Amino acid sequence: MSQEPKKIRRLTCDCPVRDLSPFAVATYIKEAGTCLDRPSVKQHLAAIRIVCDWLVVGQVIPINPAASVRGPQHVIKRGKIAGARQRTGLAASGLHR
């Protein structure tokens, strides 16, 4: 079973689905950012967008209120490159291979 209904349940407890606005979605995302990690907040926003898209297609609501809401920025850095100073220190210590 999909997780979207569970993730949107918190948002719709305070506001009926027909009365959702971009401001309500943005407020929910901002509050979720205080207690959840950024990837989880992005998943919640994605779930809200999917459900709202489904409601637009079903003509329950006229527009998707979550379409214009931006989520938190989450950047993953892999493979940090050592600077020149770190490389010379590593070479001098004899720990490199």
**Residue 30 in domain:** yes
pLDDT for 25-46, tens place per residue?
888 888 888 888 888 888 888 8
**Residue 35 in domain:** yes
Indicate if the pLDDT at residue 1 is higher than 50.
Answer: no
3-state secondary structure 1-53: CCCHHHHHHHHHHHCCHHHCCHHHHHHHHHHHHHHCCHHHHHHHHHHHHHHHH
CB 61 within 8 A of CB 19: no
Of the chain, the percentage scoring pLDDT greater than 90 comes to 3
**Residue 82 in domain:** no
**Residue 16 in domain:** yes
- pLDDT-derived band at 82 (thresholds 50, 70, 90) equals low
**Residue 94 in domain:** no
Indicate if the pLDDT at residue 69 is higher than 70.
Answer: yes
Burial 67-81, CB ≥16 within 10 A → b, else e:
eebebbeeeeeeeee
**Residue 95 in domain:** no
pLDDT number for residue 89 = 59
pLDDT number for residue 58 = 92
Question: Count of domains in the chain?
Answer: 1
Retrieve residue 8's tokens.
Answer: 């949107």
pTM of the predicted model as reported, rounded to 2 decimal places: 0.64
Over the chain, what is the mean pLDDT? 75
Range of the domain at 42: 4-73
The sign of the CA dihedral 38, 47, 52, 57 is positive
